[in-house]
Amino acid sequence: MRRVVITGIGVVTPIGCGKERFWYSLEQGASGVDRITKFDVSRYDCKIAAEVKDFDPLDYGMNKKEVKRLDVFSQYALAAAYQAIEDAQLSFKDKNPNIGVIVGSGIGGLSTIEDESKQFFLRESKGKNSASFVSALFVPMIMPNAAAGNISMKYKLNNSSMSTASACATGLHSIIYAAKDIMLGDSDVMIAGGSEAGITPLGIGSFSNMHALCKEYNDEPQRASRPFDRERKGFVMGEGAGIILLESLEHALKRGARIYAEIAGYGLTSDAYHITAPDPDSYEIARAIQLALDRAGISYKDVDYINAHGTATPDNDLSETNAIKKVFKDAAYKVKISSTKSMTGHVIGGAGAIETAACLFAIERGIVPPTINYENPDPECDLYYVPNKAEHCEVNVAINNSFGFGGHNAVLLLKKYNNK
């Protein structure tokens, strides 16, 4: 098995586009949550979300013609891929047979679905031939694999190209399977991550009606996302993309690349319990964490930081806390844990990749991002969640947790690179 390292980072998030802006916001404990501006929310129970701000796709290697053919989630993914490639200082030849792409989305092109549906049914109601007006690009724009396909075409990447669609575990699944591709020798370089643009009327309406979204802080949006806090009322919808560039260690060293961290282990399990709720016994989450430790050959005592899934839903936060206790035993009360969803909101398919970038920040800069809005300790969620302020400390080993609707559990273990 070949060693796999991370050499490039690209992010489009509600707290900043680009690695440096994103990392600065993490350190400052900045919130990206505000009142929704994408559509009229006056009749909605939930009026808040974490929207991407100041985003122009033309700043990231796209032209106007391309943009018209891309749903927003694909635009975010292409922008993050552009950043990751630039950050890694990777130059491409005309064809790249040893470079692949795995980029997914939990939902796909929801805004395109809504826009086209409105026009279709409006014409239908007027007795017009509505089918003849459906865009020929409708399906290519909405399909969850559109981001991966467009990245492959943009950079002429001829190795494996695919997408994952495992809800909130999508981004981390993409990175893990990309790493496995390199470990097995099928690729030298992989571009991997996830993207989401689900802040739409249907997206907000659906998550709100299943009682997953926070509706209690419409007048104080920046206080709304409060993982592990006793007063947590549900997650805040976010949007954006995270793309990570992975290489075999040999390939990275040969070209003199800067290495952020090494992928040392991973764990993949399924609750096989419920389509939306986590299994209360948290056994499979704990097993995924243990698998990651075992594959890395690392003791739980040596983990410095856990970027929690931490959605701020009552059941999810409790289940994750109990899983950490099962694996870490007494050390569970010493390890630093935080949920950066307190700042970015929940980016669904993009969450795991964006949070991998947060783990790389902790390893690279020696700064653990905080869980903001942690004001009321929950006696059942009683671990150390790095409350409200970032903390400076050496981080040699970091774990990233992502758990998705459908019971999908993904855990990634990163460690500081050394040449041994």
Strand segments (E) across 271-355: 305-307, 336-338
Spatial separation of the C-alpha atoms in residues 83 and 354, rounded to whole Å:
13
Q: How far apart are CA 157 and CA 291, in angstroms?
A: 32
Which fold is adopted by the domain 265-415? Peroxisomal Thiolase; Chain A, domain 1 (3.40.47)
User: Any idea which residues carry the catalytic annotation?
Assistant: 168, 309, 346
Give the pTM. 0.97
> Residue ranges of the domains in the chain?
4-254, 265-415
* Span 159-206, pLDDT tens digits: 999 999 999 999 999 999 999 999 999 999 999 999 999 999 999 999
Q: Rounded CA gap, 393 and 370, in Å?
A: 13
Handedness of CA 131, 121, 41, 374 (dihedral sign): negative
pLDDT tens, position by position, 5-60: 999 999 999 999 999 999 999 999 999 999 999 999 999 999 999 999 999 999 99
Backbone angles phi, psi at 162, to 5 degrees: -160, 175
- Evaluate whether 4-254 and 265-415 have a shared fold: yes
pLDDT confidence of residue 6: 98
pLDDT for the residue numbered 21: 98
CA atoms within 13 A on the CB side of 141: 22
Token pair 């690209």: residue: 10
Secondary structure letter of residue 238 according to DSSP? B
CATH class of segment(s) 4-254: alpha beta
Whether the per-residue pLDDT at 226 is higher than 80: the answer is: yes
Question: Which residues are within 8 A (CB) of 111 and not within 5 positions of it... i.e. 6 or more apart?
Answer: 71, 72, 197, 200
pLDDT at 94 over 90: no
3-state secondary structure 1-50: CCCEEEEEEEEEECCEECHHHHHHHHHHCCCCCEECCCCCCCCCCCCEEE
Q: Give residue 63's Cα distance to chain centre.
A: 26
Q: In sequence order, what are the residues at sequence separation of 6 or more whose Cβ sits closer than 8 angstroms to the Cβ of residue 125?
A: none
User: Of the candidates 73, 5, 9, which has an alpha carbon nearest to the alpha carbon of residue 242?
Assistant: 9
What tens digit of pLDDT does each residue of 104-137 get? Answer: 999 999 999 999 999 888 888 877 777 888 899 9
Answer for the pair 69, 137: CB distance below 8 angstroms, yes or no: yes
The whole-angstrom separation of Cα 239 and Cα 226 is 17
Q: What is the pLDDT of residue 355?
A: 98
